[in-house]
Structure 1
Amino acid sequence: MAKLKLMDREWASFFIGGENGIFNIEATKSGIDKNKLKTAKDGKTPYITRSETDNGINLFVPDEQMRKYKKDDGNVITIGLDTQTVFYQKNSFWTGQNIQILKNDNLNYWVAMFLIPLLKIQMEKFSWGGNGATLGRLNRTQIMLPINLDYQPDWQFMEDYIKQKEEEKIKQLIDYYTQQATDILIQTASITDREWKAFPFNEIFEEIQRGKRLTKSNQIEGDIPYISSSATQNGVDNFISNEKNIRKFENCLTIANSGSVGATFFHHYQFIASDHVTELKLERPNKYVYLFLASIIKKLEKKYSFNREINDKRIQREKILLPINDNAEPDWQFMEDFIRQLEKNKTETILKYYNTMVNNEKSARGGVAHLLKDYKWSAFKISDICEIFSGVRLTKQDMNEGETPFIGASDSNNGVTAFINNHNASVDSDVLGVNYNGSVVENFYHPYQALFSDDVKRLRIQDYQGKYAYLFLKTAILKQKKKYQYGYKFNAARMAKQKVILPANHLNQPDWERMEIYMQRLELQKITQYIKILHSTKSRILINN
C-alpha cells in the first residue's frame, strides 16, 4: 500500500452529535458512586471515571452490581463531563458520574485512535464547572474529518492511516528493542553456548591510534566525515576537506576518549579523526566482527566520565570479554555469524539466544534470581558509598522556558517538572536525584544534563559509574520510603546516615558490577516480552488489513 498522507485527502466539518452528527451521544447507563460499588480482588470489568490517566480506568470490579445500574457496552468513546478526558473503551464497563458515551457503527480501535486527538482539540474549549462537556455542548461542537467521494467521513481511510502509523512505530520499536537486547546479550556474556575470556585491547587490535586535533576555525568545508566525541550520528561532527595535519582512517572502529566517553562506532568509509577519538583496527578487518566488538566496547562508558577520559595508556590496558574457540582464542567466526544472523532476522536470533540462556540458568541455578540468591549482602551508609550534593532553589517566577530538564520533588515523569533555560550550580548528569521533601525518598536516574531543585539531593556513586548500578541503588533507597513522611524530611543529615542493603564483594564493598549484570538481565527479560508483544500486535494489524 502506498504511504497515506493527511494532506492528500479532502476534509469537511461534521457535528459531533445531534440529528446530523457522526455520533449518537448518551449519558452513561450506570454512573455508580465509588462508595456504592461492589468490589472484589478478582474484579475484571473496568470502572471508568473522569480520570486523565490509565484510559480513565479507576479499578476493576465484578459484573454483579445493583440491579438499577446497567453496564455500558464496549467499542465506544467516553468523554468526562468536567475533565474533558477522551478515551476508547474496547470492552464493556461500569462508570462513575458524568461520563458521556459516543457511539458509531463504523467505530473500531483504529478509527477511534484517529478521532480521539481531533476530539481532544475541541475539548480544550470546555472547562470544569459551568462550562463542561455537556450533551448539548457536544452536539453543537464540530470537527474536521477526511471525506470520501460521497462527501461522508472516510472511515476506511482513517482506519488504514492509523494501521500504517502503528506498523511504522512497531517496526521502530522492534529495531530499538532488538538492538538493546543485542547489546545486553553481548556485554554481559549472556550467549551461554560459548566460553568467554578477557583480552587486553593491544592483543585484539593491530592498530590503536589517536586522531589529531583540528579546531573548528581550521576546518575546511567538504565531503569527508570528521569524527569526534559525539554519541550520535555515528560520531560524525562535520564534513570537511582538509588534507594537511590530519589523520585519515578507514574500515575500523573509533572510540571516544572524552566527551561522550566510550561511544564506539564502525566506519566502513574513509574519515578524518579528531583528537577526541581513537582508531581501533583489526589485523583482518571485518564489518560483522567490528559490529560485535562495538557493542562490547560501549560498556566502557560506565567506567569513565567527562572528568576522566580514556587516555592512550588506559586504552592499551583495557580488557574486554570475548567468546573463544577451542584454542582459547577469540572466536571471530562466531562473532561474524552472530551479527549475520541478526541481519537476517533480529527477533528470531535474540529470542533463540535468550531462551538458551534462560533454560541454562533455570536448570542450573534458578533463572535470573540466581545472580543474587546466594550472594552476600551488607548494610552501607549512603554517605560511605555516594557523594551527596544539594540542589539550588529556583522559583517558577524565575524560570525561563527552555530545553534543560528541571528536576523537582515529584514522583512522576522521572522527576522532571519543567524545561528551562536557566543556569546554576546544580547542573549535573549521571546522578540519582533523591527527593528529601515533597514526594519523599522517590528518586530517579538522570543520565542527561539537568538542573535540580533545592528539594532534591544528587547522589553520585563513588568510584563507579553505570546506569544499571544507579537503577539498583534507586530500588534499595525506595525500600526506606515508609520511614519518611511529609513531616519527617529525608534531609541531608538523615540521608547521609541512612543505610541501604546491597550485594557485597569479598572486600565487603558494594559489588556494583554484580548489580549491573542483574539489572541488565532483568531488562533483557522485559525486552524479550516487549518484542513478543510487538510482533503479536503487528500480526493482528496484518490480519485485519
Structure 2
Amino acid sequence: MFAISTSRGYDAGKMNFVQKSTDTYEFIGRTQTDYGLQGYVKKLDSKPNKAHCISISQIGAIHAQLRQKEWYSSQNMFILEPNIKKLFNQWLIVAINRALSKYSGYSSYPTLSSLKEEIILLPTCNNQIDFEFMESFIAELEAERIAELEAERIAELSAYFKVSGLDNYKLSAEELKALQDYENVEVKEFEYQEIFEKIAQGRRLKKSDQIDGNIPFVMSGVTNTGIVNYVSNPVVMFPKNSITLDIFGNAFYRPYDFGAGDDTGVYWNENNIFNKDSMLFITTSMRTSVLGKYDYGKKLRSSQSKHIKMALPVKNGKPDIDYMEIFTKAIIKLAIKDVVRYADERIEATKEVVAGHNTI
C-alpha cells in the first residue's frame, strides 16, 4: 500500500529561512503546530521530498501529515508514498495516527521496519477499500466545518455590532475625514478636574467579605478590565458612563453601574456631558497621561489626580466632543474590519485546504 523511506534530515537551527516565494520549499519539523511548517527555504544540497505524500515524525510528537507540495524536513522523519493515488486523503491520516498512538515519543518510537509492518483499518465494501464512502464522509465533514466557520463569523460580527452600537463597519465620509485630519487636529491639555464634575475613590471590600451577587466590583488590574467579582454587598455604587483609573494607571470605560475598591478612582459627570464614544477617547487619553508613572512604590490616588493633565482635541478652546465621537467610531470600525478580514481569511484558507485535498 505504501513505499516507505527516510527523509534526508537537516538541522532546523542551521536553516536560513526566507520569505515564501515561487522558488522556495516548505521546511517541515516534528511538530503539529502550523501543520509542521517551520519556515521556507531555498533549494538545499539534495532534491526536495516529493509532493502528494505523507510525513511521519519518528520521535517527539509522533504523527502523520499530508504533504501537498515538495518539501524538506528536519531529522527523524519518514515518508509514505501511497501506491494507490486515490488513497491520499484525511481518512488515511486518521487511520495512520491511530496506529501510531501506541508509541510514546522518546521512550518508544517507530522504525522503518516497524512502519512496514503496521496495520491500519480502512472501510471496505465487497472486500475492497471503500473509496466512495471515505470521500463522501470527508466531504461532509469538510462542508460542516466551513459552515461552522461561516456561522461563527456571522455570530462574532453581530456581537461586535451589538456592543459597539454600529450596524456596519464601512467608514462614512465623516469618519474617514476624522482619521485623515488626526495629525493636524488642534489639541489642548486639560486637568482631570476640568473634564469631570465628580472624582472619587472606591471603598475597601476585602475578598473574604464579598458576598456573591450581580454588582460588578472593580479593583486594580487589567484582567477582565479590573472586575474581580460580582457582589451583593451594600457597596457605594458608581454610575455607568464613568471611567476608572486604578493605583497603577490602568484606565477603563464603564458603561454599567458598578462598585469599586479603595485602589480605584472613578471619574464621571452627573449630566453625562460626554457620550460613550467620546468617553472612550478620554479613557485612552487618561491612560496615556499616566503611562509608566505609577507602580507599587508610587500609587495613584484620585485625590492626587485632579491636576494631572491630558490632551484632548479642541474646538473654540473647548473639548471637541463631536470629533472625539466620530474618531472613536472610525477606530472601532477599523478594529471590526480587521476581525472580519481575519475570519474571512480563515474560511478561505479552510476552503483552499479542502479544495487541495479534493484535487489529489
Q: Secondary structure of 2:64's partner?
A: coil
Give identity over the alignment, percent: 17
Partner of 2:193: 383
Aligned to 1:73, which of 15, 23, 29? 29
Equivalent in the alignment of 2:70: none
Q: Shift in Å at residue 444 of structure 1?
A: 0.8
**Structure-to-structure mapping, 1:460-479, within 5 angstroms:** 460-461=268-269, 463=271, 464-479=273-288
RMSD: 4.2
How many angstroms apart in 1 are the aligned matches of 2:201 and 2:66? 53
Is the contact between residue 253 and residue 280 of structure 2 (CA under 8 Å) also seen in structure 1? yes
**Contact 1:76/1:107 (8 A) holds in 2:** no
Matched, 1:433 2:244: yes
Cα displacement (A) at 1:448: 2.3
Matched, 1:531 2:340: yes
Residue 412 of structure 1, aligned match among 223, 226, 230: 223
Matched, 1:92 2:38: yes
Cα distance, 1:409 vs. partner? 0.4
1:271 match: none
Deviation of 1:490 (Å): 1.0
CA distance in 1 between partners of 2:346 and 2:295 (Å):
42
| Higher Cα radius of gyration | 2
Match of 2:155 among 168, 172, 176: 172
Q: 1:493 to 1:175 in 2, by over 3 A?
A: closer
**TM-score, normalised to structure 1's length?**
0.39
Among candidates 255, 271, 277, match of residue 447 of structure 1: 255
SS class of match (1:483): coil
Query: Which aligned pairs between 1:264-343 and structure 2 lie closer than 5 A?
Result: none
The number of residues matched between the two structures is: 252
Alignment CA distance shift 1:148-1:501 (3 Å): farther
In structure 2, distance between residues paired with 1:182 and 1:163: 28
Query: 5 Å matches for 1:51-130?
Result: 73=29, 76=32, 91-92=37-38, 102-105=61-64
Give the conservation status (yes or no) of the 8 Å contact 1:400–1:421: yes
Shift of 1:447: 0.9
- Name the aligned partner's letter for residue 298 of structure 2: Y
Change over 3 Å in CA distance of 1:538–1:380 after alignment to 2 = same
TM-score scaled to structure 2, two decimals? 0.57
Structure 2: give runs of 5+ residues left out of the alignment. Answer: 1-10, 20-26, 40-58, 68-89, 91-104, 108-120, 125-133, 355-360
Distance 1:179 1:442, change over 3 A: closer
Q: Is the 8 A contact 1:181 1:527 kept in 2?
A: no
Q: How far off its partner does 1:410 sit?
A: 0.5
Q: 1:475 is paired with a residue of what secondary structure? A: helix
Query: Which ranges in structure 1 are unaligned for 5 or more consecutive residues?
Result: 1-28, 33-37, 45-70, 78-87, 94-99, 112-133, 137-146, 186-349
Deviations 1:140-185 (A, max 9, x none): xxxxxxx9979xxx99587666544323211212344567889377
Change (3 A) 1:165 1:481: same
Provide closer, same or farther for how the CA distance between residues 426 and 73 of structure 1 changes in structure 2, counting only shifts above 3 A: farther
Tell me: CA distance 1:416–1:102, structure 2 relative to 1, closer, same or farther (3 Å).
farther
Query: Cα offset for 1:473?
Result: 1.2
Residue of structure 1 equivalent to 2:302: 492
Cα deviation, residue 102, structure 1: 3.1
